[in-house]
Structure 1
Amino acid sequence: MEQTNVKNQEFYKNCTIYFEFLRKKGTTDYAFEDEYYFTMPAISNH
């Protein structure tokens, strides 16, 4: 269970970095955003 939590934290951190990169570049990635917001509730429940 602990390894899953570490992977979830790593996923969240990487997504945050990616979203910050997109903001600085002034672009969007709607396909990724859809997947991210679909996935986060599942990750948050663990």
Structure 2
Amino acid sequence: MSHEHKNEEFYKNCTEYFEFLRKKGKVDYEFEDEYYFTMPAISSH
């Protein structure tokens, strides 16, 4: 499995998680911070 495929799967899973939180009316700030901090580094490869 290529890194690119793993990144797409990770992005898809995160999107689903954020959608789940929105539907529940909750926020996971710690995860969001990690996600937005990490995503540019992952995407640049």
Question: Given the two structures, how large is their TM-score scaled by the length of structure 1?
Answer: 0.92
Q: Which residue of structure 2 aligns with residue 27 of structure 1?
A: 26
| Residue correspondences, number | 45
Structure 1 ranges of 4+ moved more than 2 A = none
Equivalents in 1 of 2:15, 2:39: separation in Å?
12
**Residue segments in structure 1 that go unaligned for 5+ positions in a row:** none
What is the Cα deviation at residue 36 of structure 1?
A: 0.2
RMSD: 1.0
**Residue segments in structure 2 that go unaligned for 5+ positions in a row:** none
What is the Cα deviation at residue 43 of structure 1?
A: 1.1
